Structure 1
């Protein structure tokens, strides 16, 4: 079995044409380690769990999307800026290309939710969301508006001084694309951005409703094993390719 090379600290780049540009701001990463066998059935065909020291991870990532736009065009007014929370897994395909697989993406803009579901097959859901800043603390709140899904979530964190740049930090955040099943095939969508300016953070409050909504509510019975915060990065997405 082929294994991927160690994850890179900078993006490998996306080939033209450019699909979209956006910025991710006020990003918090909460991670729990799980056995690879637990998540393997949830991944698209041709993709397996990516592991670090024998374990794979489930991530809960709230942030603010800012200035999303298509290609090299201008940002989409109003609809291009919104709060989002995703639950994600870590994947690697047959070629050794590493990525993430989203179990849930909750966002404020219904048009974005419907468009991303239809065009890319991504599991977006409509939600009420907000991010509040009190001094350096960040509080993320969410409640689902998507039919058949009901949850509330609240996360409050306090970023700390000091840079995070160890092997696990890079493994969890230096991911240059996503894997998704759509139209009967598995696709890889590449992205690129500058290295994350990661800082350690303390969790002050955690109600992991989004985790419970995708079958991982038990994880919040224990504290997350990895917590990080970043002010943000600018991101570029390339066109999907088949895996």
Structure 2
């Protein structure tokens, strides 16, 4: 991707909303990885999306607020919970750049069960918390189900000044308008719309994480290449559609380390 190819706002409208939600107090950590490490984890019909030839794996902690069906309103209790995800970036034959989740840890069991069964997303039920102390945010996670293992994560991030104009890499890592999902051996794109991210500079104060390794990237280590914070955005998801050429064709895409 080049700076000229970056889309700052959603390139497509969502005419029929199937889900609404708000994402609050997000911290984004990203590490560079070789695209060949990413490729086996992507749905059929997609390829690693890269910036200057480099792929990225992200660890993102936040608070999900007001998750609900159709156009809302969101559910008052079940729809609000902590979440932490490990994600990759993909592009399909239509040029749609999206997120691929390797894991999504959430603190409410019922949404986890629904997302796993209906949307084929790798949600995990976890004991979690998000604590704010001024401009410092502490995200903790201890996975309960399913296994194998019960990886933990703790990250502490200090939010800094607002970013008037994010760099091209910062846009690449955050300006995504959908998900790519492997649904029973077929690639599926699930679009979303939300306002342009209000991003802030951020400082990683502490990180003790096992989620990235459990998601299949044990070689990722050291300080992240990018640390960002956002107070959040409202989001709407539209109806899913197939990825062109998005069938497995006998390729072994068995998830590893998840």
TM-score (norm 1): 0.95
What pairs up with 1:189-204 in 2 under 5 angstroms? Answer: 189-204=190-205
Q: Give yes or no for contact 2:14–2:193 (8 Å, CA) kept in 1.
A: no
Shift >3 Å, 4+ stretches: none
Does residue 178 in structure 1 map to residue 175 in structure 2? no
Once the two structures are TM-superposed, the CA of residue 94 in structure 1 deviates from its matched residue by 1.0
Give the match's secondary structure for 1:38.
helix
Q: Give yes or no for contact 1:11–1:176 (8 Å, CA) kept in 2.
A: yes
- 1:60 corresponds in structure 2 to 59
What pairs up with 1:52-201 in 2 under 5 angstroms? Answer: 52-148=51-147, 149-163=149-163, 165-201=166-202
- 1:234 corresponds in structure 2 to 234
Once the two structures are TM-superposed, the CA of residue 77 in structure 1 deviates from its matched residue by 2.2
Root-mean-square deviation (CA, aligned residues, Å) is: 1.5
- 1:218 corresponds in structure 2 to 219
Distance 1:232 1:162 in 2: 13
Structure 1 gaps, min length 5: none
Does residue 31 in structure 1 map to residue 30 in structure 2? yes
Distance 1:184 1:143 in 2: 30
Distance 1:14 1:237 in 2: 10
Q: Give yes or no for contact 2:67–2:80 (8 Å, CA) kept in 1.
A: yes
Once the two structures are TM-superposed, the CA of residue 147 in structure 1 deviates from its matched residue by 3.1
Give the match's secondary structure for 2:172.
helix
Distance 1:200 1:88 in 2: 20
Q: Give yes or no for contact 1:14–1:237 (8 Å, CA) kept in 2.
A: no
Comparing 181-190 with 159-168, greater Cα deviation is found at 159-168
Distance 2:146 2:25 in 1: 28
Does residue 209 in structure 1 map to residue 210 in structure 2? yes
Q: Give yes or no for contact 2:14–2:237 (8 Å, CA) kept in 1.
A: no
Distance 1:153 1:88 in 2: 15
Query: 1:12-64 CA distances to partner (integer Å, 9 max, x unpaired)?
Result: 23332111111000000000001101111111111000010110100000100
Give the match's secondary structure for 1:40.
helix
Distance 1:13 1:109 in 2: 31
Structure 2 gaps, min length 5: 244-258
Give the match's secondary structure for 1:111.
helix
Once the two structures are TM-superposed, the CA of residue 73 in structure 1 deviates from its matched residue by 2.8
Once the two structures are TM-superposed, the CA of residue 184 in structure 1 deviates from its matched residue by 2.6
